[in-house]
């Protein structure tokens, strides 16, 4: 089995049913996003459009929309909140690509390549401020708390990650804390908002748990894909994490299981960041030797199982089925 096949199954689960169910709402979200990035400062609109129009899976806003549907919501507040969630996500991507020195995002040159680091950071801040304006316009104190807490935790997670760069002693617990913070907390917030807008307090914690668990699974698979994906499909550069010395689970597993000679290889490339052209291929073959990608994906699938369990208390419905499809997608995605 190839590394890519270890991550994504042959018939990757589709999000079509999910997108079909929320099609109109998602269109409203996209329209609102484009409306909100209009600016008399041309560079703001330019950069925002560059990243927003380049696509993206819209998984986080989809979560807010589908969780609202699951709870039987019939109003319109969920649209602006879903847009706010996508703005927070987009802002973190702009910042993340500067920090990670990434050159490819959503199949295009990153904003930092096209417009430079300074402009990317500043427009990332601008998008974050748009998200805050939108949540303040909603006005519900719970919404404000959920989204502002999520933003704080994401920023903390990104700093924690920076501190573990090159540190091969990073524990599994520490790694899980980083990915929960930088990624899963926004998934959790996005889905909890569905219960909050509906005023369905008893569903808040189940939806939050659902989001947290698929978010952790999503980042675990992302970290596997960084070594194993088909770059064209992924729309990001394979090997970014390696070049950066980012300590992710596949590396933790392979380095811990490795011989003394292998450990010294990992120290040279990740800690000392002395990398020769063939080193990524060597790293990938060590991951394969120790089943590190497959083990990472297996762990993701455990979190997916937890996510499924959080939906058990909801009546069967098309919305619930679509959320289960999303779980399957997160477990086996190739992009
Ligand atoms: C990328 O998220 C950042 C991670 C948490 C890995 P997505 O893979 O959801 O990015 P887009 O929005 O679809 O481009
Ligand atoms: C996700 O981590 C970062 C954020 C949550 C912003 P990655 O650095 O792995 O994300 P990609 O791979 O660049 O999308
Ligand atoms: Mg990155
Ligand atoms: Mg990644």
Choosing from 183, 187, 231 the residue with most ligand 1 atoms within 8 A of its CB, the one to mutate for a pocket test is 183
* pLDDT value at residue 212: 98
* pLDDT value at residue 13: 83
Strand partners of residue 109: 104
6 vs 296, which has greater pLDDT?
Answer: 296
User: Per-residue pLDDT averaged across 39-68, rounded?
Assistant: 94
Each residue's pLDDT tens digit, 176-218: 999 999 999 999 999 999 999 999 999 999 999 999 999 999 9
In the chain, % of residues over pLDDT 90: 93
User: Per-residue pLDDT averaged across 27-46, rounded?
Assistant: 94
**Site of tokens 């477990």:** 331
- What gap in Å lies between CA 122 and CA 43, rounded to an integer? 10
* Residue 86 alpha carbon, nearest atom of ligand 1: 12
- Cβ atoms of 9 and 332 closer than 8 Å: yes
**For residue 296, pLDDT beyond 70:** yes
Ligand 1 residue neighbourhood (C-beta within 6 Å):
56-57, 59, 106, 183, 219, 222
166 to 62, 163, 233: CA distances (angstroms): 35, 9, 28
**For residue 9, pLDDT beyond 80:** no
Nearest listed ligand to the Cα of residue 94:
2
Ligand 2 residue neighbourhood (C-beta within 6 Å):
92-93, 96, 100, 102, 182-183, 222, 236
* pLDDT value at residue 12: 65
- Cβ atoms of 197 and 78 closer than 8 Å: yes
From the CA of 215, how far away is ligand 3's center (Å)?
Answer: 15
From the CA of 105, how far away is ligand 1's center (Å)?
Answer: 9
- Cβ atoms of 197 and 68 closer than 8 Å: yes
Place 101 in a pLDDT band, splitting at 50, 70 and 90: very high
* pLDDT value at residue 8: 59
* pLDDT value at residue 11: 59
Each residue's pLDDT tens digit, 141-169: 999 999 999 999 999 999 999 999 999 99
**For residue 320, pLDDT beyond 90:** yes
Other beta carbons less than 10 A from residue 281's beta carbon: 10
Strand partners of residue 108: 105
**For residue 117, pLDDT beyond 80:** yes
* Residue 95 alpha carbon, nearest atom of ligand 2: 6
- What gap in Å lies between CA 334 and CA 332, rounded to an integer? 7
* Residue 96 alpha carbon, nearest atom of ligand 1: 3
User: Per-residue pLDDT averaged across 37-46, rounded?
Assistant: 93
User: Per-residue pLDDT averaged across 83-100, rounded?
Assistant: 97
Place 335 in a pLDDT band, splitting at 50, 70 and 90: confident
From the CA of 187, how far away is ligand 4's center (Å)?
Answer: 16
Q: Whose CA is nearest to atom 3 of ligand 1?
A: 93
* pLDDT value at residue 3: 56
Choose among 6, 121, 139, 26: nearest CA to 82. Answer: 26
Nearest listed ligand to the Cα of residue 60:
1
User: Per-residue pLDDT averaged across 218-239, rounded?
Assistant: 94
Beta strands in the chain (DSSP E): 104-105, 108-109
* pLDDT value at residue 334: 83
User: Per-residue pLDDT averaged across 38-51, rounded?
Assistant: 93
* pLDDT value at residue 304: 97
* Residue 248 alpha carbon, nearest atom of ligand 2: 9
**For residue 5, pLDDT beyond 80:** no
**For residue 4, pLDDT beyond 60:** no
**For residue 327, pLDDT beyond 80:** yes
From the CA of 97, how far away is ligand 3's center (Å)?
Answer: 5
Pairing mode, strands 104-105 and 108-109 = antiparallel
- What gap in Å lies between CA 112 and CA 33, rounded to an integer? 21
């Amino acid at each position: 089995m190839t590394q890519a096949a270890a991550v994504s199954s042959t018939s990757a689960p589709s999000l079509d049913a999910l997108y079909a169910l929320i099609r109109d709402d998602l269109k409203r979200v996209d329209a609102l996003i484009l409306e909100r990035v209009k600016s008399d400062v041309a560079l703001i609109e330019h950069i925002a459009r560059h990243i927003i129009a380049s696509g993206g899976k819209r998984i986080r806003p989809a979560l807010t929309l589908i969780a609202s549907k699951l709870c039987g919501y019939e109003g319109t507040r969920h649209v602006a909140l879903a847009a706010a969630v996508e703005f927070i996500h987009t802002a973190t991507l702009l910042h993340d690509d500067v920090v990670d020195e990434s050159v490819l995002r959503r199949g295009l040159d990153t904003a930092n390549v096209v417009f430079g680091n300074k402009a990317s950071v500043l427009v990332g801040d601008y998008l974050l401020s748009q998200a805050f304006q939108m949540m303040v316009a909603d006005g519900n104190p719970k919404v404000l708390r959920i989204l502002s807490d999520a933003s704080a935790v994401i920023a903390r997670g990104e700093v924690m990650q920076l501190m573990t760069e090159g540190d091969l002693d990073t524990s599994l617990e520490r790694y899980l804390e980083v990915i929960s913070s930088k990624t899963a907390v926004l998934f959790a917030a996005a889905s909890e908002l569905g219960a909050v807008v509906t005023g369905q307090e008893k569903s808040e914690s189940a939806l939050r748990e659902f989001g947290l668990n698929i978010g952790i699974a999503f980042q675990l698979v992302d970290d596997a894909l960084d070594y194993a994906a088909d770059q064209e499909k992924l729309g990001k550069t394979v090997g970014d994490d390696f070049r950066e010395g980012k300590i992710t689970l596949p590396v933790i597993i392979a380095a811990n299981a490795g011989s003394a000679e292998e450990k010294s290889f990992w120290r040279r490339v990740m800690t000392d960041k002395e990398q020769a052209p063939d080193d990524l291929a060597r790293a990938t073959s060590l991951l394969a030797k120790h089943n590190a990608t497959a083990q990472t994906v297996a762990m993701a699938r455990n979190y997916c199982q937890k996510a499924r369990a959080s939906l058990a208390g909801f009546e069967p419905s098309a919305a619930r089925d679509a959320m289960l499809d999303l779980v399957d997608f997160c477990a086996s995605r190739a992009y």
